[in-house]
Amino acid sequence: MSTTIEDTEPEALDKVIIRFAGDSGDGMQLAGNRFTDASAAFGNDLATFPSFPAEIRAPAGTLPGVSSFQVQIADFDILTAGDEPDVLVAMNPAALKSNLADLRPMGTIVINTEAFEERNLAKAGYTENPLTDGSLNAYKVIEVPMESLTKEAVKDTGVSGRDVLRSKNMFALGLMAWLYSRPLEPTVDWINAKFGRKPEVAEANIATLKAGYNFGFTTEATKNSAVTVKPAKLPPGEYTTISGNLSLAWGLIAGAKAANLPLFYGSYPITPASDILHELSRHKNFGVRTFQAEDEIAAISASIGAAFGGHLAVTGTSGPGLALKSEALSLAMMTELPLIVINVQRGGPSTGLPTKPEQSDLLFAMYGRHGESPLPIVAASSPSDAYESAIEAVRIALKYMTPVILLSDNSVATGSEPWRLPERDSLPDFRVTFATKPNSPDGEFMPYVRDPLTFARQWAVPGTPGLEHRIGGLEKEEVSGNVSYNSDNHQLMTDTRAWKVANIANDITPVAVDDPDGASTLVLGWGSTLPVIKAAVRRVRNEGHPIAHAHLRHLNPFPANLGEVLKSYDNVLIPELNTGQLIRLIRAEYLVDAVGLNKVSALPFKVTEIEAKLLEMI
């Protein structure tokens, strides 16, 4: 790539990683999201990683109160939000302190100097001011008196009091827009739409945004540092920028549409799953009923009731809530009703790390029920993949009359990426048919008569004359569904339920292996590690080593070809954000001596971590 640096022509980079960090009241998520959208509109590929404090009201200025948003933008298809930021925007000392270690050597720091006064320094645990003690000498520091510049920018707009400094995140955003040649229009449009009813607030935000941009344009401090990242060469298509909770919610709506059923969503608020509830509650015109229950047990129970009534029933939660749903999930399993249970995993156990990513509920999803209670498990591997995964979960639940666990996690749920949209009118059609007629020779309806191929029972909904029947949690006699304590029947029903789930292996896409060079080492992943594994694999290949990659969407049952795939490699690496859960399933199922790469440090993998492990193995 040839680049000429001129006064007017910004330097072209192929990628840049920017982290906005500040107090949770500083509006860093918003600044990051706006920067992301402006970059998306510009045609960059991108990936984001927001990080929030767990406590909403952690004391201002302290380390626990720091909120950050990392975005990587690139002119090629990138996969992750990046390992080390090139640029850190630090709105206060705590933000600097808790993020500096991640910054790449010689990276740039944009500092809001006015926040670096004694009290804030003390709150962040600094005894010396890092701006003056030489500790930042290894970095390129851009010092900006952001607060007085913001005050100056808004002085004619009519905002007063706390509203004045509130827009200082826009100053930071404007400055970054200058530094990376982002257009301002998308942000201006967004501000106008958002604050349409408060014109003075809109005006103040726009004035600050432009002030930040102009500050970059005019001051000594930033001279020659304006660079750009050119649009990426993404595959042709129509794109939007999407976060995983939204696309998952939309996937449920799409699944309901494909099934031609109304959607019922029962949920109790919990981070990071609540946004699914918020999103679905906005779309009542799609026939979506949302029920904010008194607890997670009620949420799943109500969903089971709705499923009995013929709705596409879904209940969503995060780890602690899944624990509460366990007993009812067995009921749904026993009554063989379709139900989607979403678990947006977060750091555990107990309340754990509510806002941090972890993949530590896989074994819980697999085994966290009393009795023999196998259930299909589908996992979303990226924000955009959550849409397809949700549709797949719906398909399985309805076709096989079974609850399905749909795993997401904090990275998928809150991260965002460009999503190549499915074409219009391309939704699959798996509309369901309810039973309308008795299904036994004596003219009765027998709820446990099964489809010979899928072993699914029929779905007969209340209101259908002649099909009145009772279901429940006591063991069912085959065919009739009457309560049965017969020992042979219990064996038969247990085997049948297990077989029904196992048989789904023949109805899911075989696992695809990306192995262009005939490698002997395979890296096998699941869920949100997809982008980072892909990036590591690409690096290893660029270094000249063949490496194969496969990623699982279906965790139970596994795709039918998985055993064969695993056995065709000498080494198998399984990276997971847990202490080794998929690896246990794989070893138990296939007797493959896979190697784990495990991490539970409240952060996603770095590309370099997986890369290093792969290089060590080959």
Partner 1 sequence: MTTIEYTRGDFQSDQEVRWCPGCGDYTILASVQKFMAASGIRKENAVFVSGIGCAARFPYYMATYGMHSIHGRAPAVATGLATARPDLSVWVVGGDGDMMSIGGNHLIHALRRNVNLKILMFNNQIYGLTKGQYSPTSEVGKTTKSSPMGSIDYPFNPMSLALGAEATFVARTLDMDPKHTGEMLEAAYAHKGSAFVEIYQNCNVFNDKAFIALTSKDDRDSNRIYLEHGKPIRFGQDMEKAVVMHNGEATIVDAAAVDETAILIHDQTNMSMAFALSRLSHSPTGPTPLGIFRSVDERGTYDDGVNAQLAKAKSTKGDGNIDDLIRSLGTWTVG
Footprint of partner 1 on 325-364 (CB under 8 A)? 327-328, 331, 335
Q: Which is nearer to partner 1, 145 or 422 (CB)?
A: 422
Smallest distance, Å, CB 219 to partner 1? 32
Distance from C-alpha of 446 to C-alpha of 443, rounded to nearest angstrom: 9
Stretch that binds partner 1, among 78-86, 129-137, 251-259, 551-559 (CB under 8 A): 251-259
Q: Is the dihedral of CA 237, 412, 363, 342 positive or negative?
A: negative
Selected binder of partner 1 within 3, 218, 240, 579 (CB under 8 A): 240
Neighbouring residues of 566: CB distance < 8 A, sequence distance ≥ 6: 522, 524, 572, 586, 590, 592, 594
Residues found in the chain:
618
3-state secondary structure 379-442: ECCCCCHHHHHHHHHHHHHHHHCCEEEEEEEHHHHHCEEEEECCCCCCCCCCCCCCCCCCCCCC
What's the sign of the alpha-carbon dihedral 494, 497, 498, 499?
Answer: positive
18 interacts with partner 1 by CB under 8 A? no
Residue with tokens 């499915």: 422
387 lines the binding site for partner 1 (CB under 8 A): yes
Least distance from partner 1 to the Cβ atom of residue 317, Å: 15
The reply to whether 291 sits near partner 1 by the rule CB under 8 A is yes
Q: Looking at 94-102, 127-135, 170-178, 280-288, which segment touches partner 1 (CB under 8 A)?
A: 280-288
295 forms part of the interface with partner 1 (CB under 8 A): yes
With beta carbons less than 8 A apart as the criterion, state whether 124 and 58 touch.
no
Site for partner 1 in 415-474 (CB under 8 A): 421-422, 424-425, 427, 461-474
Nearer to partner 1, 155 or 233 (CB): 233
Residue indicated by tokens 């209101």 = 463
Binding to partner 1 by residue 237, rule CB under 8 A? yes
Interacting span for partner 1 (CB under 8 A) from 49-57, 167-175, 288-296, 568-576:
288-296
Binding-site size, partner 1 (CB under 8 A): 74
Does the footprint of partner 1 cover residue 380 (CB under 8 A)? no
Residues 6+ apart with CB under 8 A from 135: 128
Other C-beta atoms closer than 10 Å to the C-beta of 520 total 14
Cα separation, 280 vs 60, in Å, equals: 33
Q: Which stretch binds partner 1 (CB under 8 A): 4-12, 116-124, 212-220, 283-291?
A: 283-291
Q: Which of residues 142-161 bind partner 1 (CB under 8 A)?
A: none
Q: Which of 262, 269, 428, 546 binds partner 1 (CB under 8 A)?
A: 262
For the chain, the farthest-separated pair of C-alpha atoms sits apart, in whole angstroms, at 91
CA 208: distance to chain centroid? 32
Does position 215 interact with partner 1 (CB under 8 A)? The reply is no
Range 472-491, binding partner 1 (CB under 8 A): 472-474, 482-483
Compute the distance between CA of residue 47 and CA of residue 307 in angstroms, rounded to an integer.
37
**Residue 411 touches partner 1, criterion: CB under 8 A:** no
Structure tokens at 589: 């199922």
Q: What are phi and psi of 94, to 5 degrees?
A: -65, -40
Minimum CB–partner distance for residue 95 and partner 1 (Å): 28
Our CB check for partner 1 shows the closer of 223 and 233 to be 233
Smallest distance from the beta carbon of 294 to partner 1, in angstroms?
4
Question: According to the binding rule CB under 8 A, does residue 580 interact with partner 1?
Answer: no
CB of 370 to partner 1, least distance (A): 11
